[in-house]
Structure 1
Amino acid sequence: MEHRLSKRVPGKLGLLVYKRGMPVATGQIRDASKRGLFIATDYSDVQLNQTLEIEFRFPEREERHFRRLKAHVVRISDKGLGVDFDGVENDTFTISSLLHWLGQHHRSVEYFPVRQSQVY
């Protein structure tokens, strides 16, 4: 039985994944909580406990700048990455804004579409 410390909000929002300050992958937020995210991506060049940055923007807001959050990788699966905000410095307003936006938008928004691995 899984015990979560905060409620998960489902949603879909495209993002970029950064490693050591460089963009390395695209992905899509599938669910989020105050403590972390699950990112659907086919990117696999990561290790548990590694710090990554994710960058996104809210598409229909007038602001045009991107937002960035730091997170530690806590789960790696063939469907994506589970990341946790605990232990890294982040703007709690950005996390709250993300949760609110995901709760209000149930459709898929893919500014950075997830690459699908080709099957041969």
Structure 2
Amino acid sequence: MEHRLSQRVEGGLPILVYKRGMPVATGMIRDASRRGLFIATDYSDVRLNQTIELAFRFPERSTKGHCTLSAHVVRTDDSGLGVDFEGVDNDGLTIAELVACLQEQASTDFLAGRFREHTH
């Protein structure tokens, strides 16, 4: 049984991973919470507790441009990286907007799937 401190939301948002200011990988947010993310990527040249930067764009929000967050690597496996926002300086509003955006995206995808089920 998992003991999460904040609710996870499924993702599907492209993300860029930076190390020491240099882009090193692309990935996809697989799930997110206000405390961290899991990024699906084949990039593995990171250490636990290493600080990385993440860049992404909110869909359909051209006014905000790209957003960046810093995070610590807390897990690595063959499918990607688990990162945590604790202990790094981030804009809490950006994290909240990211989670809300993914929640909205997930509910829209769910409703679209339900609509397709009933029209076929």
The TM-score by the shorter chain falls in which range?
A: 0.7 to 0.9
Specify every segment of 5 or more residues in structure 1 that has no aligned partner in the other structure, as ranges. Answer: 108-120
Number of residue pairs matched by the alignment: 107
SS at match of 2:97: helix
| Residue matched to 2:103 | 103
Instruction: Show CA shifts across 1:4-62 (max 9, x none).
Output: 11000112100100000010000000110010000000000000000000000012113
After superposition, residues 24-35 of structure 1 pair within 5 angstroms as 24-35=24-35
- Name which of structure 1's ranges 28-37 and 60-69 shifts more when overlaid on structure 2: 60-69
Distance 2:27 2:34 in 1: 19
More helix by share: 2
Aligned match of 1:48: 48
Unaligned segments of structure 2, at least 5 residues: 110-120
TM-score of the superposed pair, with normalisation by structure 1: 0.86
1:80 aligns with 2:80: yes
Give per-residue Cα distances to partners, 1:42-97, cap 9 Å, x unaligned: 00000000000000001211315110000000000100000000000000000000
% same residue = 66
Give the aligned residue type for 2:11: G
Query: Residue in 1 aligned with 2:14?
Result: 14
State the SS of the aligned residue for 1:95. Answer: helix
Q: Distance in 1 between matches of 2:62 and 2:36?
A: 26
Larger radius of gyration: 2
Q: Following the alignment from structure 2 to structure 1, what is the Cα–Cα distance between the partners of residues 14 and 63?
A: 17
Structure possessing the higher relative contact order (Cα contacts under 8 Å, 6 or more residues apart): 1
| Map of 2:114 onto structure 1 | none
Question: Is 2:71 aligned against 1:71?
Answer: yes
Superposition TM-score, scaled by structure 2 size: 0.86
